Amino acid sequence: MQFDLFKPKAPPLFGLDISSSSVKMLEIAEAGKGAYRVERYSIEPLPRDAVVDGNINNLEAVTEAVKRAYKRLATRTKHVAMAVPTGAVISKKIVVAAGLREEELELQVETEANQYIPFALEEVNLDFQSLGPAPSNPEEQEVLIAATRKEKVEDRVAVAESAGLKASVMDVEAFAQQAALSLVVQSLPGGGKDQNVAVVDVGANVMNVTVLRNDQSVYTREQAFGGNQLTQDIVARYGMSPEEAENAKRSGGLPDDFETEVLRPFMENLSMEVQRALQFFFTSTQYHSIDHILLAGGSAVIPGLDSIVNTRTQVPTSVANPFASMQTSPRVQLKRLMVDAPSLIVACGLAMRRFDPV
């Protein structure tokens, strides 16, 4: 089964993002020239350890969650765009002669891929996309190669098919995130041009920091810190089970001292982690400044987190919301969408694949 990590497909589709904590589905439609409308979305929590480090450990549990999310989504669309975890993908930019025919380019890519990929080519799904002329020489072109182990793709396809859906597009989480964030960066002062924008994505277990410059990723780093830390702090202080702590975190109902004793220290720790990540960025690249920080992931919506990060780093900070300039259908609760927006960034990028030029 050949999978296109990049190439678009024609049928209408929605984004299906499987993270370590939940299944997220999102459908976007066109609403006039260059405008989009959020049609519907759903988020379904996953049992603990069903997905670990991007690996689907419990196929049955994940499939059941996908079925529940799809039922709540209430769409007729069966085609989905999915993504493999960034960590499971080897990507490499290569430079080849411009004007190669498709078959020549494929051959060249396979030859190059052999040098960079530590697996036999028959064990991987390999794809490539021309990025246009090489900056240093117009007679050459830059090509992005992406390869992932077949089982990473097959597990996700199996989940979709078991839930009665069809995986039409297999993307990479980092590329999907970038597609959605380009909508956010456009709304920054000066359209974000020539600016270093740090995207801090706080997941359940890890914090991913990516620095974007003119729609290209110039730096990426992963740190072992995530929203589960807050859950563990709640468990330790109030003697709850992890499930109770997780529910309380979402729906409130925690003791009065929660904000001062647990939440505030967590936010301070998180902002220190962001500051550390920026220091690593400055020492390992030629850049010495960050123009803007965008907070993404489930923890991004903690009230006041953006101002605490801003105070510590002295960098303008906001919560990433790719839906800010989109319309919404009547079935979408706008207030709820604004809260969920930072968790839906990958799903948004995947849903946008519907509008790729065929």
What does the pLDDT look like over 277-294, one tens digit per residue? 999 999 999 999 999 999
Same domain assignment for residues 280 and 195: yes
The DSSP call for residue 297 is: S
Mean pLDDT (the chain, rounded): 91
* Residue 84: band (very low, low, confident or very high) from pLDDT cuts 50, 70, 90: very high
Q: What is the CATH number of the domain that holds 133?
A: 3.30.1490.300
Same domain assignment for residues 175 and 223: no
Domain boundary among 132, 149, 166: 149
Mean pLDDT (whole number) for 321-331: 95
Same domain assignment for residues 178 and 193: no
Check residue 300 and give its pLDDT: 92
Indicate left, alpha or beta for 180 from its phi (over 0: left) and psi (-120 to 50: alpha): alpha
Residue 130: name the closest of 105, 167, 112 by CA: 105
Same domain assignment for residues 300 and 206: yes
* 1 or 357, which is more confident: 357
Beta bridge partners of 223: 207
* 23 or 114, which is more confident: 23
Check residue 255 and give its pLDDT: 92
Report the percent of the chain where pLDDT is more than 70: 97
Q: How many domains does the chain have?
A: 3
Same domain assignment for residues 348 and 275: no
Check whether 44 has a pLDDT greater than 90: yes
Q: What is the CATH number of the domain that holds 353?
A: 3.30.420.40
Residue with tokens 């220290």: 265
CA torsion, points 321, 67, 27, 346, in degrees to nearest 10?
Answer: 40
The predicted model scores a pTM of: 0.89
Same domain assignment for residues 160 and 18: yes
Check residue 1 and give its pLDDT: 43
* Residue 356: band (very low, low, confident or very high) from pLDDT cuts 50, 70, 90: confident
Domain region containing 102: 88-149
Mean pLDDT (whole number) for 126-155: 90
How many angstroms separate the CA atoms of 327 and 28, rounded? Answer: 10
